[in-house]
Structure 1
Amino acid sequence: MSRSIVRQSKFRHVFGQAVKAEQGYDDIRVSKVTWDSSFCAVNPKFLAVIVESSGGGAFLVLPLSKTGRVDKNYPLVIGHSGPVLDIDWCPHDDNILASCSEDCTAMVWQIPDHSLTRPLSDPIVVLEGHSKRVGIVTWHPTARNILLTAGSDNLIIIWNVGTGEPLISMDDHPDLIYSVSWNRNGSLFCTTCKDRRLRVCDPRKREVVATNFEEPIALLELDTSNGVLLPYYDADANMVYLCGKGDSSIRYFEITEEPPYVHYLSTFSSKEPQRGMGFMPKRGVDVTKCEIARLYKLLDKKCEPITMTVPRKSDLFQDDLYPDTAGPDPAMEPEEWLDGRDEDPILISMRDGYVPPKSRELKVAKKNVLDSRPTTRRSMSALDTNSLPLLERLLEEIQNLKATVLSQEKRICDLENKLSQYANGTA
């Protein structure tokens, strides 16, 4: 008499659950642009969502704690002259976010710790180098200030946002690039393309190092819609989450080194289809509730957090669920990476949870235009770096004056309203 052997795994019973209605984010005008990015990015401080905007592109940035209904007049991050197509938070600074747009540019933004009180229209740096719309933006996982962009000109550019300069360009793709993903130490990245080929690229050699993959080690057919799948790989738990745009399910799997390699765990389903999905970095999950992942599901007019939890009765920290994870500090400088150095992420313990640090200013030191060969049209003046402290003080003074003017305008409005009430005999 034979018995079936059940595979042992601490993630076999992981279950997904939507948060209570009041813990979601309502009345968000999610962008209706037909693009295959996730439209949503999240980190331990902020939720960012690409939204509808007249006269250009915009996205909404909310502190995670600002749940409930979003005021229709809540200030947006604006600056792109065309619709925003993709956004990505910097892994080494929770206040820095990159965006890209149909206007052929990428921009890097410094988000203040507090809620925005007025529209944010001044990026730290504008990155210009693509001749067509820029649809993908993604940060290097371990090197400071390294950002990759990919455009509809089939060009990939890697930038040092600390200087605003392009470091590497690759034009190895014959058709539209659908997605780009770095490996764990940022030595290689992988792309998918409209020509149905998967490519592994070595950016510092400026070459494709692998394309002709043979039979897959595992093949799963999913009963899903025609929408694009948004995958998320959790390197700590060796789990993959698959979310289809236009689908209403999140399927999750465990990856092992032994056949059959991919093990289906379960599916979280809800009534409404998702427009996009944001994935919280592991340092942002709640270890006191055995939460191993948190996903932010975009619907037509709201964002709904979904928690993935391992059922455990003990209140103690679960070491086996939370190996040391990638922290917020970069492992190397951009020059070191460009010279060929590779480093894995600097890990931190999750035993006491994670508290995001306060905002750190990202300084951009533009190189002198006379010291380099002519490139594309520059978005910043060619200034000697010795002038930067003075410029920073002037910019800070301008910001302070703007804040004072806004404060006085509000005070004048309040006084005018009171005067009107007295005149009408209602006060």
Structure 2
Amino acid sequence: NSNGFLVKYSNNSGWISNVRAGSFTSQGNHIKSSTRLVAFNTDQAGGGMLGLTSVEPGSDGKWTVTVIPCHADLVTDLDFSPFDDNLLATCSADETVKLWRVCEPEQEQPGGAEVTLCPGEGRLELVAFHPTSSGLLAVGSTKTAQLWDTSRQQSPLAALEPHGDQLQSLSWKQDGSLLASSCKDKKLRVFDPRAQLTPVQSAQGLQSNKDSRILWVKDSDHILTTGFDQMRGREVRLWDSRKLGSSLGSANLGTSNGHCLTDAPTRGVAMVPKLALDVMSCEVMRVLQLTDSFIVPINYHVPRKSGQEFHADLYPDTLGRTAAMSAAEWWKGGEKQQSPELPSSSAAPSRSPSSTSGLSSGFLPSPSQSGKAISSMLGPSSKFRHLQGAVLHRDTHFTNLKGLNLTTPGECDGFCANRHRVAVPLATAGGQIAIFELSQAGKLADTGLPTIQNSVNVADFSWDPFNSHRLVVAGEDAKIRVWQVPEGGLTETLTEPETILQGHTEKIYSVKFHPQASGLLASSSYDQTVRLWNLESGDEVKVLRGHQDQIFGMAWSPDGKLLATVCKDGKLRIYDPRKSADPVQEGAGPEGHRGARVVWVCDGKYLMVSGFDSRSERTLYLHSVESLSSGAIASAPTDVSPSTLIPFYDPDTSVVILTGKGDTRVYIFEIVPEAPYFLECASFNSSEPHKGLAFLPKTECVVQEVEVARGLRLSKTSIEPVAFRVPRVRKEFFQDDVYPDTAVWWESSLTASAWLAGSDGKHQSISLKPKDMTPVSEAPKEVQVRKYLPSSHYLEEKTDEQKKDEVCVCVCVCVCVCVLLLSE
């Protein structure tokens, strides 16, 4: 390219297939992109359906394409929110505007729109989000443009003066102060909606009434238009919005019946947001071309020698993803502007380990000065951001699993495991639970498996962390049954529990063992109480009250002194059971009422809650234990899905791994005790939905492979071990920055009676370093050795006469070769 750009058209393998783009007539574009997702028109349902795919491919290098039924008639235009990758606005010939909370194409899409607006001006043609204010939309109908605040859905903020003919295009100025339009009456108009409903500038600018587009040039006063001249030649013109009488310049692009979008046959073109570009390869622009059967990515790169440095001259500050103000604030005259924002790990998250790029901690012996500069420029990032999940060899799988219970309550994790065995609920009558020994992996028998029979439906169950043979099962009959699994596993069906705990008056939600004291169990129930049990005596020892509704989840603090609960009444509570039956602290929990989980993080200083926001989006919240009443100090939205994200927290790395029953994606975050608190890491994706994910003790991890967590993934027909590893180059060394001394949490520090009497315990710690490995912090630095010495090295060793002789010999050889070639 003469302008210095290297334009790369992907080969067929890089095209997004399974696309059925329709040929429809509307004023809007037919494809739009956020940093994560791509939405486009399809020919299905008369154009009322949209296709949805992702910007980046999945772990298999391919794109998943799904469709969403949106409207009863043609979708005429669409737009992603600049502040939310998953918020999509659509307008249609059915005279409605809808807002959708879409999610990854592999996941189940929402069944309906979150917001529906009815402008009442006939067929709608255009929709555009405001660039600085959240929830503010410009909507264009046949002749009228309206402004809507999505939080007040009854009527528009303003209806601008009608145009003289068909409205063809709308564009906001980057600072959000002005709105420009182009129209079939050949006029260009500029509106200041807060000052007046009539145009502040208007002029006969277009040469033809054929199709046109208008676009503000950044935050300047210049406007760019594309359209047709009087000879039907396509043209581009530049205008000063303050003087629309004549254009500042123009360029003719030749004659064609097609609109001036690209020079190739296309149904639409979308530009991928800047925050999704690969800056380390000097990608400055990415365009997605929609054709009848494919979406073709077109990448624009600036050739640079170094791909290891950030080239600041190519990337001026770009707009961030946080709205400067609300629609109401803007309408009242607010002039706040977005602050420039640097891309973080959550801006365009990797969809799989294979799609990540860049260098993680440990790829280099020590960070260079340029690396530090990039790190400070791009903001905080996690050393675990490239964490890779991998399913282990099939020899370690349990296969041919039949009769799995797929309808366990939302408060139940779905199954549980310890270092020796796994417990799986079955759908057969009598609340049966199958026990599988991890040392006996393989294909399971079709029939005749011994089980634990509880005689009632199972609500929740858990292994004793200090006794790998003891399993407690909570039933819907308000009883807790304690079972003892014999050494080597079940050889016959068990029907008589070791102990039955009775005290709750209604069915039980969940059970949780104390993290320090042996034989101490907490249970929550529909009777809105939490009860503590001493398993050694079989007695109920404490009853905690104060809940006003369903108890979604509970968790003991790491030191075992406190118990936290999250409830459907919207409250987060902390109890000190030995001092009071009432909560010692209360605070606001998640707004959504579909389910939640709570876990203590960062040495017990914070509570992380996994729940739903008011729009039913799954969201993570972080609360300070010292000021629970102040509300969440940080949040991290994930996606829209009906199942609650179940967290597993590793205190050694401060990494939390989350997934929901029925999901195919596993989210991973590092939690840090300072802003931004949540550092998103590469997620793990499975090929089929899983029913649960349980984790094993840290000693089961293979440190030689830099494995920081090992889990068991339960699917409909199998149990598969999954290893989560940090990619490192020098694996021959023990990565002591990843493996601090770990707590021996599988050994109790005191008895239940001692804890109830007021004593506290603390786990011992051990090192995971094998005896034959050296810590990487003590490893010798690698010396860079050049494969070949530079020519100057050889020349310095020779005299001038030797150099002349060598030159003469080379010349003679070249002459001889040329003569031989000519003679042939």
Q: Which residue number in structure 1 is paired with residue 420 of structure 2?
A: 45
* SS of the residue 1:82 aligns to: coil
Residue 181, structure 1, aligned to residue 555, structure 2: yes
- Deviation by residue 1:254-289 (Cα, 9 ceiling, x = unmatched): 111221111001111112122222122223322232
Q: Tell me, in whole angstroms, the C-alpha distance in 2 between the residues paired with 1:88 and 1:288.
A: 30
- In structure 2, C-alpha distance between the alignment counterparts of 1:66 and 1:35, rounded to whole Å: 29
Is 2:441 the counterpart of 1:23? no
Aligned match of 2:747 = 329
Partner SS, residue 222 of structure 1: strand
Q: Which runs of 5+ in 2 are unaligned?
A: 1-311, 314-373, 588-628, 772-824
Deviation at 1:121, TM superposition (A): 2.4
Q: Name the structure 2 match of 1:320.
A: 737
Residue matched to 2:758:
340
Q: Is 1:207 the equivalent of 2:623?
A: no
Moved more, 42-51 or 7-16: 7-16
How far did 1:48 drift? Answer: 1.4
Task: State the SS of the aligned residue for 2:536.
Answer: coil
Aligned counterpart, 1:413: none
1:14 maps to a residue whose letter is L
Q: Deviations over 1:157-195 (max 9, x none)?
A: 111101111111123212111111111011111111121
Per-residue deviation, 1:9: 4.2
Task: Show the counterpart of 2:684.
Answer: 268
Matched, 1:290 2:663: no
Tell me, yes or no, if the aligned pair for 2:415 and 2:424 is still in contact at 8 Å: yes
Match among 641, 652, 669 for residue 225 of structure 1: 641
Task: Give 3-state SS (helix, strand or coil) of 1:221's partner.
Answer: strand
Q: Which moved more, 1:331-340 or 1:19-28?
A: 19-28
Q: Deviations over 1:348-370 (max 9, x none)?
A: 332349xxxxxxxxxxxxxxxxx
Residue identity matched to 2:396 = Q
Q: 1:72 to 1:203 in 2, by over 3 A?
A: farther
Matched AA of 1:322: Y
The amino acid that maps onto 1:46 is R
Which residue among 428, 433, 439 is the counterpart of 1:59? 433
Larger relative contact order (CA 8 Å, sep ≥ 6): 1
Which amino acid counterpart does residue 765 of structure 2 have in structure 1? L
The alpha-carbon deviation at position 8 of structure 1 amounts to 5.9
In the alignment, residue 573 of structure 2 is paired with which amino acid?
A: R
Q: CA shift at 1:5, angstroms?
A: 4.1
Distance 1:120 1:34, change over 3 A: closer
1:104 counterpart (478, 488, 491)? 478
After TM superposition, the structure 1 stretch with the greater mean CA deviation from structure 2, 144-153 or 19-28, is 19-28
2:492 maps to which of 93, 118, 121: 118
How far residue 78 of structure 1 moved from its aligned partner, in angstroms, is 2.3
1:146-185 alignment, distance < 5 Å: 146-185=520-559
Which residue pairs with 1:389 in the alignment?
A: none
Greater alpha carbon shift after TM alignment, 165-174 vs 106-115: 106-115
Q: Which runs of 4+ in 1 moved over 6 A?
A: none
Distance 1:126 1:135 in 2: 17
Aligned partner of residue 662 in structure 2, secondary structure: coil
What CA distance in whole angstroms lies between the structure 2 residues aligned with 1:72 and 1:201?
47
Question: One-letter code of the match for 1:201?
Answer: Y
Question: Following TM superposition, by how much is the alpha carbon of 1:335 offset from its aligned partner in structure 2, in angstroms?
Answer: 1.9
Deviation at 1:248?
A: 0.9
What percent of counterpart residues are identical? Answer: 32
Q: Distance in 2 between matches of 1:45 and 1:254?
A: 28
Amino acid at match of 2:634: A
Which residue does the alignment assign to 1:411? Answer: none
Q: Which amino acid aligns with 2:582?
A: E
Identify if the C-alpha distance between structure 1 residues 170 and 49 changes in structure 2 by more than 3 Å, giving closer, same or farther: same
**Bigger Cα displacement from structure 2, 164-173 vs 344-353:** 344-353
Counterpart in 2 of 1:415? none
- Post-superposition shift, 1:234? 0.9
1:350 and 2:761 are equivalent in the alignment: no
Query: What is the letter of the counterpart of residue 241 of structure 1?
Result: I
2:500 and 2:576 mapped to 1: Cα distance?
25
Cα displacement (A) at 1:105: 1.1
> 1:34–1:41: structure 2 CA closer, same or farther, 3 Å change rule?
closer
How much does 1:299 deviate?
A: 1.7
Give the CA RMSD over aligned residues. Answer: 2.0
Contact in 1 for aligned 2:545/2:582 (Cα 8 Å): no
CA, structure 1 residues 97+287, in 2 after alignment: closer, same or farther (shift >3 Å)?
Answer: farther
d(CA) in 2 for partners of 1:224, 1:18: 26
Contact 2:545 2:581 (C-alpha < 8 Å) held by counterparts: no
Shift in Å at residue 20 of structure 1?
2.9
Judged with a 3 Å threshold, the aligned counterparts in structure 2 of structure 1 residues 74 and 180 are, in CA distance, closer, same or farther, namely farther
Q: Distance in 2 between matches of 1:304 and 1:342?
A: 37
Q: Which amino acid aligns with 2:754?
A: E
**Which of 716, 726, 729 in structure 2 is aligned with 1:300?**
716
Contact 2:381 2:679 (8 Å CA) reproduced: no
Change (3 A) 1:259 1:286: same
- The CA deviation string for residues 5-63 of structure 1, in whole angstroms up to 9 with x for no partner, is 46464323211111233422223222133411112111111111112222x11211111
What residue in structure 2 maps to residue 81 of structure 1?
455
Contact 1:225 1:246 in 2 (8 A): no
Q: Which amino acid aligns with 1:286?
A: V
1:184-195 aligned within 5 A: 184-195=558-569
1:139 alignment partner, one of 513, 533, 555: 513
Q: Distance in 1 between the 2:519 and 2:770 partners? A: 28
Q: Equivalents in 2 of 1:345, 1:14: separation in Å? A: 28
Q: Distance in 2 between matches of 1:349 and 1:94?
A: 22
* 1:74 CA drift (Å): 4.7
Q: Which has the larger radius of gyration?
A: 2
Q: Which moved more, 1:69-78 or 1:142-151?
A: 69-78
State how far apart, in whole Å, the 2-side matches of 1:246 and 1:91 are: 26
How many Å separate the matches in 2 of 1:85 and 1:258?
38
Where in structure 1 are there 5+ consecutive unaligned residues? 354-427
Counterparts of 2:415 and 2:573 in 1: how far apart (Å)?
Answer: 25
* 1:365-386: CA deviation from partner (whole Å, max 9, x where unpaired): xxxxxxxxxxxxxxxxxxxxxx
Contact conserved, 1:243 with 1:250, CA < 8 A, in 2? yes
Q: Please show how residues 240-259 of structure 1 align to structure 2 within 5 Å.
A: 240-259=656-675
Do the aligned partners of residues 316 and 122 (structure 1) sit closer, same or farther apart at CA in structure 2, a change above 3 Å counting? Answer: farther
Residues 291-337 of structure 1: CA deviation (Å, up to 9, x unaligned): 11122222222222211011233234333322222323211121221
Task: Give the Cα–Cα distance (whole angstroms) in 1 for the partners of residues 467 and 519 of structure 2.
Answer: 10
For residues 81-120 of structure 1, what are the alpha-carbon distances to aligned partners after superposition, in whole Å with 9 as ceiling and x for unaligned?
2111212111112222211111221122222231321112
